[in-house]
Amino acid sequence: MSESKWSLKRIIELYDQIISQPHRTEIARELRDEDDLFMLLLFSEMVGIPNPVFYYTLELYPVMLEKFHDWHLRMGMEKSPLSGIRCC
Amino acid sequence: MSGIILAVIGMVVFALGYRYYSKFIAEKIYRLDPTYQTPAHKFKDGVDFVPTNKFVLWGHHFTSVAGAAPIVGPAIAVYWGWLPAFLWVVLGTVFAAGVHDFGALVLSVRNKGQSVGTIAHKLIGRRAKLLFLFIILLLVLMVNAVFAWVIANLFIKFPASVLSVFIQIPLAIWIGYWVYKKQGNMLLPSLAALATMYLAAIVASYVEPLQIDLIGYFGGEGSTVMGMTATSMAFFVWIIILMIYVYIASTLPVWKLLQPRDYINSHQLVVGLLILYLGLLFSNPTISAPATNTEADVPWFPLLFITIACGAISGFHGLVSSGTSSKQLDKETDARFVGYLGAVGEGTLALVAIIATVTFFGSTADFTAVYSSFGAASSEGLGVFVQGAAKLATGLAIPPEVASTIVSVIIVSFAATTLDTSVRLMRYIISEIGSEYNVNSLGNKHVATTIAVVSSAALVLIPEGPKGFGSGGYLLWPLFGTSNQLLAGITLLLVSFWLRNQGRNYAPTMIPMIFLLFMTLWAMTSQVFGKWNVFGGSEPSGLLFTFGSIIWIFAIWILIEALILFNKKDKELPTD
């Protein structure tokens, strides 16, 4: 009994995953777009846009550096646009 | 003969095809490697590249490729009798579609998850990219015209279905919002939405004021647009409403409307297949259509092969295989399950569409009275399928009037999502062509969408022959099939080339490719130059002549590219 209950649950889970798969991708894409914009705001000083909170965003650099390479690739720049960050 | 026998034979052939032929292709031809690191792992980003369970990926792949097209084609093609349509669907799925979908998936996996278009660009150059863009542009333009025609006609024939289809829109928007903003689960709300839609369909089937019957509103069938002949006011108004809807829907972000609709439609696909196959099992209908039509006014050979595209082989699947599924494949060996069985899934849909259509009539005479000519088959086929499917549903004790409304709702929902996606795709292609030729204004979302919507509306409403405004839709169906086959031809060409470069046997992909190109060229040559020729053809038609000629030129173009490609010994396919 418990085995068949588990199976039914598994089937429903699988079915749920199938129908939600494309949606999950789109939501991840939307969130990534928002993140990309946020990244631009954080790095704005280095690309020539004045940033009043530059001092604070500077502290985030160690965290952001890991994501920086993928970000500039997505933005259509094959090489790092910032001479200070030599990721590639 | 019983319809069940046809279904069983079809299923057995599909099963054998999967068990033996796809195994042979996987092991000897594509040589899948379970240790190969797929793009989903290599470029894992949590968005496009995500390793996915093969059952989930198959389900996603199948729901992306299945739509109204594998229903419309067979419903028309049974005009030549059930046997040719049945054989083409079953054998086409096993030997052409399966190999094509599976091949596109493997080729893309071995090329960093790139799409077929990008691979063609790398291999042949800018020329191939433009060829690809123009064929897809033609394909989506025809999809828009044909599916707008399908929806408008179903709304007119089955007015009880209108309410449900329009209820789906706000429900989908609400679910989209719920999932996106509130991070809610989509299974229960989408099932509730489905239940609401079907409840509306049931109520509307019995309560006449809820049936949106535009023919009645505009004063009967005789009411035409500004007194012009043939096209009813109702058809014209439906096309305008659909085009306005599709403009709005295709410019919204996909998560707002398109995707929530898609997962309601995934339930509908399951419901539809269950109703049809279980209904078939319980009602055990007899095939009333003849096995072959000896008095056909157009020859089945080669037109059958372009009338049924989706369900036997469809180039659109290659776009899905290489566009999304290849980026999510966990192990390379899963490609057989996802790609080949995805094509088989579509084959089962086409198979049941044939059965529903050929078992609907009480006698062979009734069948031939409706399917009196190819033109009649093209315009009536879909309506016959809906009624045939409703007849099968009565095997599950569903009243026929409710069943026909629900089947009609299912088909319209599929067609509307296809229309939405295809207008969106057309917008992207117009922008892409704009950037190729430095026309920056085409990059604007609204400019590109306006061009897409206006040209599609013009095509479906174009005055054609004695039938006047709006007869363009179903006439274009074989041309839609042809452009779809050409797209499949390009994919098979690329896969064959890859196999040749690897020093393997490329006959399993090359033979279907030659077959497709041969049939397309033959059909187009006979139709364009013999029948539709405006300079002395038997049935001159400016519209069909123009589109047919363009397709003919594309087919020749592909043939030339194939010859060039296979003569270049030094050209390397960028595979790893």
Q: A11 contacts in B (CB within 8 Å)?
A: none
pLDDT band at B223 (very low <50, low <70, confident <90, very high): low
Residue of A nearest to B327 (CA): A25
Task: Flag whether pLDDT at B257 surpasses 60.
Answer: yes
Q: pLDDT above 90 covers what percent of chain A?
A: 0
| CB pair distance less than 8 Å for A30 and B55 | no
Pick from B35-44, B139-148, B217-226, B447-456: least confident? B217-226
Query: Exposed (0-12), middle (13-18) or buried (19+): which is B387, by Cβ within 10 Å?
Result: buried
Q: B259 contacts in A (CB within 8 Å)?
A: 22-23, 26
Q: How near does any CA of chain B get to the CA of A16, in Å?
A: 6
Q: What is the pTM of this model?
A: 0.89
- The pLDDT of residue B192 is 94
From B345, B326, B343, select the one nearest B335 (Cα to Cα): B326
A25 touches chain B (CB under 8 A): yes
Residue of B nearest to A17 (CA): B56
B323 touches chain A (CB under 8 A): no
> Which pair of structure tokens corresponds to residue B200?
């509306």
Q: What is the mean pLDDT of chain B?
A: 89
B302 prior amide bond cis, ω within 30: yes
- The pLDDT of residue B95 is 97
| CB pair distance less than 8 Å for B254 and A20 | no
- The pLDDT of residue A2 is 43
Integer-rounded Cα Rg, in Å, for chain B is: 23
Mutate to test the interface with B, among A20, A33, A35 (most CBs of B within 10 A): A20
Q: B262 contacts in A (CB within 8 Å)?
A: 19, 22-23
From B375, B207, B216, B211, select the one nearest B303 (Cα to Cα): B375
Residue of B nearest to A26 (CA): B255
Mutate to test the interface with B, among A7, A8, A10, A23 (most CBs of B within 10 A): A23
Stretch A52-75: mean pLDDT: 80
| CB pair distance less than 8 Å for A17 and B45 | no
Q: Is B277 helix (H, G, I), strand (E, B) or coil?
A: helix
- The pLDDT of residue B572 is 58
pLDDT digits (tens, 9 = 90+) for B466-513: 444 445 566 777 788 888 998 999 899 999 999 998 899 999 999 999
pLDDT band at B346 (very low <50, low <70, confident <90, very high): very high
Task: Flag whether pLDDT at B106 surpasses 90.
Answer: yes
From B290, B304, B355, B346, select the one nearest B6 (Cα to Cα): B355
Distance CA B17, CA B23 (A): 9
Task: Flag whether pLDDT at B562 surpasses 60.
Answer: yes
Q: CB count, 10 Å around CB of B43?
A: 13
Distance CA B252, CA B92 (A): 37
Pick from A57-61, B172-176, B200-204, B329-333: least confident? A57-61
Distance CA B305, CA B91 (A): 12
- The pLDDT of residue B325 is 92
Task: Select the highest-mean-pLDDT range: B35-44, B206-215, B454-463.
Answer: B35-44
- The pLDDT of residue B460 is 84
pLDDT digits (tens, 9 = 90+) for B264-302: 998 999 999 999 999 999 999 999 999 999 888 888 988
pLDDT band at B200 (very low <50, low <70, confident <90, very high): very high
B43 touches chain A (CB under 8 A): no
Residue of B nearest to A31 (CA): B47
Which residue carries 């609204």 as its tokens?
Answer: B446
Q: pLDDT above 90 covers what percent of chain B?
A: 53
| CB pair distance less than 8 Å for B64 and A22 | yes
| CB pair distance less than 8 Å for A70 and B45 | yes
Residue of B nearest to A30 (CA): B255
Spell out the residues 6+ positions from residue B428 whose beta carbon is closer than 8 angstroms to its own. B448
Q: Is A19 helix (H, G, I), strand (E, B) or coil?
A: helix
Label residues A14-42 b or e (16+ Cβ within 10 Å = b).
ebbbbbbbbbbbbbebeebeeeeeebeeb
Pick from A3-17, B155-169, B361-375: least confident? A3-17
DSSP H helical ranges for B92-232: 98-109, 116-124, 126-157, 161-182, 187-206, 214-217
Distance CA B437, CA B541 (A): 31
- The pLDDT of residue B224 is 63
Q: Are the CB atoms for B72 and B150 separated by under 8 Å?
A: yes
B47 touches chain A (CB under 8 A): yes
User: What residue spans define the domains of chain B?
Assistant: 3-567
pLDDT band at B220 (very low <50, low <70, confident <90, very high): low
Q: pLDDT above 70 covers what percent of chain B?
A: 94
Query: Exposed (0-12), middle (13-18) or buried (19+): which is B391, by Cβ within 10 Å?
Result: buried
| CB pair distance less than 8 Å for B266 and A19 | yes
Quote the ipTM score. Answer: 0.76
Distance CA B506, CA B495 (A): 8
- The pLDDT of residue B262 is 84
pLDDT band at B388 (very low <50, low <70, confident <90, very high): very high
- The pLDDT of residue B226 is 59
| CB pair distance less than 8 Å for B52 and A21 | yes
A15 touches chain B (CB under 8 A): yes
Residue of A nearest to B50 (CA): A25
Q: How near does any CA of chain A get to the CA of B195, in Å?
A: 17
Q: How near does any CA of chain B get to the CA of A21, in Å?
A: 7
- The pLDDT of residue B26 is 97
A7 touches chain B (CB under 8 A): no
Residue of B nearest to A14 (CA): B56
